[in-house]
Amino acid sequence: MTIKTIEGAMRADNARFCLVVSRWNSFVVEALEKGAIDTLVRHGADASALTVVRVPGAFEMPVAIERIAKKGGYDAIIALGAVIRGGTPHFEYVAGECVKGMAQVSLKYGLPVAFGVLTVDTIEQAIERSGTKAGNKGAEAAMSALEMVDLLRQID
Ligand SMILES: Nc1c(NC[C@H](O)[C@H](O)[C@H](O)CO)[nH]c(=O)[nH]c1=O
Ligand SMILES: CC(=O)[C@@H](O)COP(=O)(O)O
């Protein structure tokens, strides 16, 4: 018995990506953005097919992502940011609304929204996840976007 399997390949044939990048903690987010773009280009994405949209913070991501998805023209959105816990519960609200909002947009429009937003307790954790000993979450988000674009094309 042969089980039919459908899975996305890591390629970007004529795919259009929009990166939504927040400015908070830019010393970390810049590394996430570099990792994401490097990954996309190395997997065949045309740099001219990439768009970068900058937002103030993670809390503003969902409304920007919703507007981008509504306008159309992209095969996937990659959200890049860093929410670093401070001394108040603010972290919970920013991180929670960010992820909830972008997940809702992804489902509403059937559009992959890769979650490359760090939600960490310390700056050290952020640094570790933006290109040092714990990898680059921006690159990982780009890999997810590549795979999902190809997967959804196969399903359609
Ligand atoms: N503390 C962090 C924020 N806070 C700002 C919010 O995202 C938002 O821009 C503000 O509340 C105005 O609406 N944003 C991050 O991306 N990362 C943080 O660590
Ligand atoms: C995630 C945040 O909003 C946080 O960095 C803000 O810090 P604080 O909780 O000390 O106001």
Q: Under the phi-then-psi rule, with left for phi > 0, alpha for psi from -120 to 50, and beta for the rest, what region is 58? A: alpha
- How far is Cα 134 from Cα 77, in angstroms, rounded to an integer? 23
Q: Which of 23, 42, 67, 90 is catalytic?
A: 90
Longest CA–CA separation in the chain, Å: 57
Angle at 84 between CA 137 and CA 135, to 5 degrees: 20
What are the tokens at 21?
A: 């990048």
| CATH architecture label of 17-137 | 3-Layer(aba) Sandwich (3.40)
Can you give the pTM of this predicted structure?
0.96
ipTM of the prediction greater than 0.90, yes or no:
yes
Cα 58 to ligand 1 centre (Å): 5
Q: Are 110 and 146 in contact (CB under 8 A)?
A: no
90 lines ligand 2 (CB under 6 A): yes
Supply the angle between the helices 26-42 and 137-155 in degrees, to the nearest 10: 40
List the domain boundaries for the chain.
17-137
Return per-residue pLDDT of the chain as tens, 156 residues. 999 999 988 887 899 999 999 999 999 999 999 999 999 999 999 888 899 999 999 999 999 999 999 999 999 999 999 999 999 999 999 999 999 999 999 999 999 999 999 999 999 999 999 999 999 999 999 999 999 999 999 999
